[in-house]
Chain A
Amino acid sequence: MSVNIKISNISKSYGAVIALNDISLDINSGELFGFIGPDGAGKTSLFRILTSLILPTSGLASIGEFNVVKDFKDIRRNTGYMPGRFSLYLDLTVEENLNFYASIFNTTVKQNYELIKDIYEQIEPFKKRRAGDLSGGMKQKLALSCALIHSPKLIILDEPTTGVDAVSRMEFWELLKKMQNMGMTILVSTPYMDEAALCDRVVLMQNGNLLAVDSPSNIVKAYKGELFAVKANNMHPLIDELLTLKNTSQVFRFGETIHITSTQGDAVDYVTIVKKHLAEKGYEDVIISKVDPVIEDCFLALMDKDVE
């Protein structure tokens, strides 16, 4: 049981600040859809509109047949929401929080236990502990259990992996895949670009605008120019040197290498030119290899364009 989502020309302003700038977006039923962007991109505002917690300044949005403004009661009955900030009751125990959320939705933990079993089992040994005394990872699992307990058709997760280590993040994404297989539509936001690859489709967001909407593989395919990774003996000053190259854009540190993009000409010639240039400047052990772009390369390129 899942639903589709239709967002048409949604804008949201807080005084003079434009949080969302005329956003239109369709999300398919059963999709695992990612909202990728830094703080201030507008992800949380959009999620709050979709969960009927705030009103859009203008525009329309619907979840299945329900309008997010007019039919807010139906929206809340059918949507699970895990906000970015832990918002359960700190003075209730794990078990009490879960029972509380179940009863709000006129259901019981027993009735929907199958749905939360995989997640809840991991925190069940601590069910008598107050939520305020849980570790970050356990809080996250409790919040997810509470968001799922009324068997929603749509679940919206606002930055569930922020501040979470690389291993726990990987495990969390495995959970999301399982939830998707149970038939839910899932919207998830993240500032970690590498997590985009785990979604069916993603939107890249920046300052209230959509930079791109597509599958991760199509976004990568649409990258303009050829991308190279450069390494040399002296990495600190290398970036300034590469910024002076002709026919080159997108000079950015990328892990242990620096990524540069050739804007014109033959790739073999380009490599020769760059190697010669760096050798003249006294760099040694220069390695230049052509690499496939990842989402972060695309985001950087789209951001650059947005600034211009």
Chain B
Amino acid sequence: MSQTEKIIEVENLVKKFGTFTANDNLTFDVYKGEIFGFLGANGAGKTTAIRILCGLSSPTSGKAIVAGYNVGRYPNKVKSNIGYMSQKFSLYNDMTVKENFRFYGGIYGLSQKEIVNKTNFFLEKLEMEKTRNVVLSEIPLGWKQKLAFSVAIIHDPKVVFLDEPTGGVDPITRRQFWEMIYENADKGTTVFVTTHYMDEAEYCERVSIMSEGKIEALDTPTNLKERYKVDTMNDVFIKIAR
């Protein structure tokens, strides 16, 4: 992680829905190659913030720059320069593995040749060559999650947003998934991740915890545990969010 190059810059970001303030003056930076955990209770405002950072919603006031583009002014530039994956929606169940790669590669403007190369690269890496022509609905969840992550980074984005990527998968697959995250962060991809598994919060380089629209804490897991005088991130979370 390089502390110099900022991939996400958020300054005094506010988002209101009517009289309700979903994001209350958020300010933080995320660096190149960093694994950044974005935690908070249900309803704390995480989804709203992620939607803004992905260019899907514009801030009421304040500034956010993602992958070099102002999200309010150039939302489409932001969209084409980031990757996104969530547990709820990622790939198309009625298309084959290959078709999913081709579809997303096409959306991100890759050439036919690039799409073929990337598809081969990921399938070989995941040891899933045999699934190339299998319809996605027939593939086990754990494999799907790994494919979805690969598809999300098919266009080599500077930052990838992972929204609860490991929900429901078995503990071995969950760990394999994190190995993929580490590997890509080491190569310089910034990883912005939400999770309800508190052991996964420990895997992040820095973690922010939101409560009622505000960022209540932002630091390394080690520093957070020291500050709140507890042994686990689970206890830190409970102290802040309760």
Contact = CB atoms under 8 A, between A and B. Distances in A.
A303 B171 contact: yes
A191 B168 contact: yes
B175 A253 contact: yes
A206 interface: yes
Contact of B196 (A163, A239, A254): A163
Interface size class on chain B is 35 or more
Interface string A130-169: 0000011100000000000000000000000011111111
B85 interface: no
Dominant SS among interface residues on chain B: helix
Contacts of A236: 182, 186
Nearest to A38: B170
A192 B199 CA distance: 11
Contact of B140 (A40, A137, A165, A193): A40
Interface in B216-236: 221-222, 232-234
B212 interface: no
Contacts of B242: 167
A282 interface: no
A165 B172 contact: no
B169 interface: yes
B138 to A, nearest CB: 9
Contacts of B167: 162-163, 191
Interface string A191-208: 111100000000000100
A169 B242 CA distance: 11
B42 A300 contact: no
B202 interface: yes
Given A166-B238, A167-B237, A253-B175, A192 B197 contact: yes
B169 A168 contact: no
B42 A168 contact: yes
A256 interface: yes
A303 B196 contact: no
Interface size class on chain A is 20 to 34
A254 B200 CA distance: 8
A252 interface: yes
Contacts of B103: none
Contact of B164 (A163, A256, A296, A304): A163
B169 A167 contact: no
Contacts of A265: none
B122 interface: no
Contacts of A239: 179
Interface centre among B43, B173, B232 (most CB of A within 10 A): B43
Given A166-B234, A166-B238, A167-B241, A253 B221 contact: no
Nearest to B142: A38
A255 interface: yes
A195 to B, nearest CB: 12
Interface of A: 37-40, 135-137, 162-170, 191-194, 206, 236, 239, 252-256, 296, 299-300, 303-304
23 contacts: A38-B141, A38-B173, A39-B169, A136-B42, A137-B42, A162-B167, A165-B40, A165-B41, A165-B237, A165-B241, A167-B237, A167-B242, A168-B42, A192-B196, A193-B171, A236-B186, A239-B179, A253-B175, A254-B199, A255-B202, A255-B232, A296-B171, A299-B171
Given A164-B42, A165-B44, A167-B41, 4 more contacts: A39-B168, A136-B43, A303-B172, A304-B172
